[in-house]
Amino acid sequence: MKRLVNKSNRDYYGGALMFLLGLGAVLQGRTYSMGTLSRMGPGFFPVALGVILALAGAAIAIRARFAEREGEDKVLPPEWRGWLCISLSIIAFVVLGKYGGLVPATFAIVFISALGDRQNTFKSALVLALAIVVICLVVFWWALRMQFPLFGWG
């Protein structure tokens, strides 16, 4: 089975992505005043960049059309578990940091992200997270006196 994004078509996707990003920059940049060449407004530079980016994106996609399709597909399967856990752990740090304080946030980011690795067990992640909480208390709270409440209620 072929993957959605593989070696032979990934330049299409890459080029298209750049084209859309460029287009987005142009559309958003148009909402700021353009000014003239001698007196540029805030919109001029972003619009110019957007045009260049869109052109580069188009060129990448067109080149992919003509490029040789060579070699077997070596794109690795996406690592959903790792992605999910790492993303969740950062979100947890932000949310818990805001409503719970430094200690739960620290515990959460290490614990959840450690679970993203298949070789880590529940127990090893727990031990690692507790160890980091201790380090965090000593280094950041006690030694560096960081402005971050240990526990908080929002």
Name residues contacting other proteins, limited to 22-51 (CB under 8 A): 22, 25, 28-29, 32-33, 36-43, 45-46, 49-50
Residue given tokens 């593989």 in the structure block? 6
Give first-to-last CA distance, the chain, whole Å. 49
Between residue 71 and residue 90, which ones bind other proteins under the rule CB under 8 A?
A: 75-76, 78-79, 81-83, 86-87, 89-90
Q: Does 101 bind other proteins (CB under 8 A)?
A: no
Phi first, then psi, for residue 44 (nearest 5°) are -60, -55
Among the listed residues 60, 100, 103, 104, the single contact to other proteins using CB under 8 A: 60
Q: Does 126 bind other proteins (CB under 8 A)?
A: no
Strands (E), 9-105: none
22 near 57, Cβ under 8 Å?
Answer: yes
Q: Does 8 bind other proteins (CB under 8 A)?
A: no
Among the listed residues 20, 27, 30, 67, the single contact to other proteins using CB under 8 A: 67
CB closer to other proteins, 1 vs 70: 70
CB atoms under 10 Å from CB of 100, counted, come to 19
Q: Could you give the 3-state DSSP secondary structure of residue 35?
A: strand
